[in-house]
Chains A and B, each alone.
Chain A
Amino acid sequence: MLEVEGLKKSFGPIHAVKGVTFTVEKGTVLGFLGPNGAGKSTTMRMITGFLPPSAGTARICGHDIVDTPVAAKKSFGYLPENAPVYADMTVNGFLNFAAEMRGFVGSQIGPKVEAVISRCRLEEVRGQTMGTLSKGYKQRVCFAQAIIHDPPVLILDEPTDGLDPNQKHLVREMIKSMAADKVIVISTHILEEVDAICTRAIIINQGTVVADGTPDEIKGKHDSLDLAFRALTTSSTEVR
């Protein structure tokens, strides 16, 4: 359902992503791991069509993001890094806007908005302007926006970043509950999250894939995912 093919991105002389290729099938929760600055967000921005790739492409449900961006964008929901929201809008207003952008009209909009509000537990803040929300709520509003059209592919850039343990738990439960019939890609540098919800993990470092497999496979001969991650993303001298 999600095919990423040789994605590359350079910003002037800096090669942020140097060729990332992978394919994800339905029912997978893919953890997209890497140290800060490894190219996780840049890769996700290319998959979602926000940044044009320097080379390569991604196909979402068969739609090429470079050649047919609008069709491809319809097939996924996206939670960008740091959950950006329009500070002046209310939660309600924003979710209505998101539903309209997803092509719902008239009487279809109300039920869709109600569904995500109750699913993401936003009842308490629905009339509040988003500039006044805590980070956790912003994250959930942005999450709600991503699932409003029940997309087959979900791309979440650090969905639990900056949340308290309760909120983290809530978001993870939501992800788990949707995993069966979707492709979910989560970027994170929190390794406990991978053990908790991911069925597969890809580690990228300095713009290239350095490991790809189930969390257990990646652990391999190391005692924990933590050690494996460190071994893969630092040079051998640094590990010692």
Chain B
Amino acid sequence: MKQSLRNIWTIGKREFKSYFESPIAYVFIVVFLVLLGSLTFFVSDYFREGEGKANLQAFFVWHPWMYLFLVPAVSMRLWSEERNSRTIELLLTFPVTLTEAIIAKFLAAWVFLTLTLALTFPMVLTNNYLGTPDNGAVIGGYIGSFLIAGTYLSIGTMASACTRNQVIAFVISVMICMLTFMLGLPSVARFLHGIDAGLLGSLAQMLPSLSVSPPFEAMQRGVVDFRDVLFFLSGIIFMLFTTHHVLQARKGR
């Protein structure tokens, strides 16, 4: 156990540092912060909408959309680069298990995303200066955002394990992430619930409950339900489990 943790730490540390050894980290952080700021202030009409309320819903609502493109951009290289440059052979012949390597690389990327998310703290400060926001809801929003980032990341990890081509990995993960997000949007959910065609219909009606958006919605209001957290975590574990299977079968090719 102790050795596993140390292996995860060593691999994760290398991975995390590698973001900063290339321009990826800086581009990602700048794009994320600038876009998020602009969307919140200009598109959401934060100044008028938030009049007197100074709430951060106008801010959090953009997170899943930002992650939709930016998380796959971070995750696409996780395994496909390792396979493409054949360093995977080096990595997996060190005294480590595949599970440790998968967890380590996933956590490194998640910590990086969390760091970026944490850099949005001036929003919270501004809000508290301008008014008296419900800080419980703010914390809930951050927890939700953190969990959505992790879920998208686990999807991206799986996609990255499937192919040696980073562009393909990117496109696959954007598609799946978009699906998991959109299925829960009220309009889409209403459409799916409207399908009334026997077995197919009942399957379609189940789909919205697989979406990440309703639980995120609740968390933005400050309702952090244990079951919702479990939903995100089980999604992540399922995706990493799938990654393990995919890599076990494809790592040598």
Contacts and interface: CB of A to CB of B under 8 A. Distances in A.
A105 to B, nearest CB: 8
Interface string A88-100: 1100010001101
B86 A84 contact: yes
A101 B18 contact: no
Nearest to A73: B95
Interface residues of B, number: 23
Nearest to B4: A70
Contacts of A145: 90
Interface string B65-90: 00000000000000000000111011
Contact of B18 (A86, A100, A142): A86
Interface string A71-83: 1011000101110
A51 interface: yes
B95 A70 contact: yes
A86 B19 CA distance: 12
Given A45-B252, A97-B10, A100-B10, A73 B18 contact: no
Contacts of B93: 48-50, 73, 78, 80
Nearest to A145: B90
Interface string A49-80: 11110000000000000000111011000101
A126 interface: no
Contacts of A69: 97
B126 to A, nearest CB: 36
A69 B95 CA distance: 8
A196 interface: no
A142 B14 CA distance: 17
A52 B98 CA distance: 12
Contact of A101 (B22, B95, B248): B95
Contacts of A13: none
A74 B18 contact: no
Most chain A beta carbons < 10 A, residue from B14, B87, B89: B89
A81 B89 CA distance: 9
Given A51-B252, A101-B7, A84 B87 contact: yes
B140 to A, nearest CB: 37
A219 interface: no
Contacts of A87: 85
A87 B85 CA distance: 9
A145 B94 CA distance: 10
A101 B89 contact: no
Identify which of B18, B94, B97, B251 gathers the most chain A CB atoms within 10 Å of its CB: B94
Nearest to A80: B89
A108 B3 CA distance: 17
B85 A50 contact: no
Contacts of A106: none
A101 B7 CA distance: 7
Q: Which of B10, B93, B97 neighbours the largest number of chain A CB atoms within 10 Å of its CB?
A: B93
Given A86-B18, A89-B21, A100-B10, A50 B87 contact: no
Nearest to A105: B6
A121 interface: no
Sorted nearest first, the 8 A-B pairs with minimum C-beta distance are A84-B86, A73-B95, A101-B94, A80-B89, A88-B21, A100-B10, A84-B87, A48-B93
8 contacts: A50-B251, A71-B95, A74-B95, A80-B89, A84-B89, A86-B87, A89-B21, A97-B14
